[in-house]
Amino acid sequence: MHEFTVAQSIVDSVLHEAEVRNATRVKEIDIEVGQLMQVDRRVLKDALTILITGPILKGAKIHLRVARARFSCRRCGHRWTMNEAKKQLSSISDKLLVREPDSRELPLHFLPYLYPAFLHCSRCGSSDVEVPEGEEIILRRLVMG
């Protein structure tokens, strides 16, 4: 499951940070997950709870929040959010889409890194679109002991 893969990579980074800083305990973990990662926050939290074991991580508090995706135009600097982007994404020709059976979700679900390829700037029309926020997982804060 996608969420478990994401959770595992978070746990790996936390352990790495703890090791680098010679910490023996991690007490709190603040995580920000980009909207484009398409993770179910509840499932991710459950996965983390299962994976947080061992002397260093056991009992650590997890704070999880989803960071809204933002897009920006490299040509004119215009910025916009996922809501606006979804309108553009919903107008993609059906032939280009890989739909999941019984799903009305945006079919790009599993390929969020392709989003910018289907977007263009609503102000200047440029298709040189960047995703400065929303496609990554950030460890915002670790409280270690």
Task: Determine which residue in the list 109, 126, 136, 143 makes contact with Zn ion, applying CB under 5 A.
Answer: 126
In terms of CB distance, is 29 or 121 closer to Zn ion?
A: 121
Q: In this complex, which beta carbon is closest to Zn ion, that of residue 123 or of residue 141?
A: 123
Q: Which two structure tokens, joined as six digits, stand for 37?
A: 């990662």
Residue from 124, 127, 140, 143 in contact with Zn ion (CB under 5 A) = 124
Residue 78 sits in the site that holds Zn ion (CB under 5 A) = yes
CA distance to 17, 23, 89, 104, 138, per residue, from 55 (Å): 15, 11, 46, 43, 23
Choose the binding region for Zn ion from 27-35, 41-49, 124-132, 137-145 (rule: CB under 5 A): 124-132
Maximum CA pair distance of the chain? 54
Output the smallest distance, CB 133 to Zn ion, in A: 17
Integer Cα distance of 74 and 80 in angstroms:
12
Q: Provide the phi-psi class of 130: left if phi over 0, else alpha when psi is between -120 and 50, else beta.
A: beta
The reply to whether 44 sits near Zn ion by the rule CB under 5 A is no
Residues that bind Zn ion (CB under 5 A): 73, 75-76, 78, 121, 123-124, 126
